[in-house]
A and B are shown apart, each in its own frame.
Chain A
Amino acid sequence: MSTQTDKRRPYVRSVDGWWKRDPYYMRYMAMEATSVLVAAYAVILLVGLARLSQGEAAYNGWLEALKSGPSIALHAVILVVFLYHLWSWFKVMPKTMPMIFVDGKKLPPETITYTGVTLAVVVNVIVLIILV
């Protein structure tokens, strides 16, 4: 009887640095990274709330700090990051929803994305008008 040797030697490739392999992955990582700044900005607002509870002087101090040069620069960066966060969030949204049928036809994902973005813009503009 001859002994049969297994010639199979499957080669496993490394997945190190996988996100650099494709621009699609880089956009995904950028999308995930934006949530860090979203959380950071929530902390900034919470600090404002804490200062408000400490009285008028404390709150005004916080407002003054927001008006400083570095703070305005930070806000400009955060605005750009938030816009990408907003866009990417609604881009993924159709994937997370059950299929919607209108007159027997599937609602296209673009419709869901654009409706969401439009609503978000409208709500933000209204909030801005109320605040200013």
Chain B
Amino acid sequence: MADSTKTIEMEVLRYRPEQDKEPFWQTFSVPFTDDWSVLQGLQYIKDDLDSTLSFRWSCRMAICGSCGMMIDGVPKLGCRTFLRHYHPNKLRIGPLENFPIERDLVVVIEDFIKKLESIKPYIIPKEARTLAQGEYLQTPAQLEKFRQFSTCINCMLCYSACPQYGLDPEFTGPGVLALMHRYNADSRDGGRAERMDLGHSEEGFWGCTAVTYCSEVCPKGVDPANAINQNKMGSAIDYFLRFVAPRGAGK
């Protein structure tokens, strides 16, 4: 390794379900250079120090959303967080908060996937078009209404940042609700009514108390807190309109 190699202490939360009653911290001394990410540090541990360490990763460039973890208590992507920012102090790496630990840094994400599926995260065309009729057209202004919310990579950092999800797992949570808004706000989409029974509920937009930490930790600038809270006004109008007009008039 180059002369500029330094060494950092990485404390990793370990949990091996077949032998550990509860998680414990294990410290590794990791040599690194300035361009090393936390993910590279973990890969060094797995390759050279302890091959039993488990963690998820894939793309190494903040697009697959696999390597979300708690780094010194803050939800971050391991691939876009650099060891040099923590040196000469040690750093602590744990699995994403608010999710059960499957093994080491791997968390159980079934609940998130189930919720993601439940909001129909795809365009339900407003009007059926044949191939001969051509593509669905959209203006740049219509695109801007949802573009920001469509950059979500499902990394679940926002779920780890959301105390409401931690306290009540029934809450649909920031990332998925932001995606619900993303499709509802798309001019080509006609699926709003199908999604909004959940949106209007306590498990939907109203489960959010605007802690807004989700938007702070999002690595893609999605701003889930804005996606969720801008729906509350419309949701309240929809609630009161039911007394004077048939259900759905406010949608």
Contact = CB atoms under 8 A, between A and B. Distances in A.
A96 B141 contact: no
A95 interface: yes
Interface in B56-103: 73-74, 97-98, 100-102
B249 interface: no
Contact of B100 (A11, A18, A97, A106): A11
B186 interface: no
Interface in B208-241: 210-213, 215-216, 223, 225-226, 229-230, 232-233
Interface residues of B, number: 34
B102 A8 contact: yes
A15 B215 contact: no
Interface string A6-48: 0111111101001101101100100000000000000000000
A57 to B, nearest CB: 45
Interface residues of A, number: 25
Contact of A95 (B74, B97, B145, B215): B215
A99 B17 contact: no
A34 B15 CA distance: 40
B121 interface: no
Contacts, number: 77
Given A8-B102, A25-B213, A104-B144, 19 more contacts: A9-B18, A10-B17, A10-B101, A11-B100, A11-B101, A15-B163, A21-B97, A22-B73, A22-B213, A24-B213, A25-B163, A92-B212, A95-B210, A95-B215, A95-B225, A95-B229, A99-B145, A99-B230, A101-B144
26 contacts: A7-B18, A9-B17, A10-B17, A10-B101, A11-B15, A11-B17, A11-B101, A13-B97, A15-B98, A15-B163, A18-B166, A18-B167, A19-B163, A22-B73, A22-B74, A22-B213, A25-B163, A25-B211, A28-B213, A95-B210, A96-B226, A96-B230, A96-B232, A98-B230, A101-B141, A104-B141
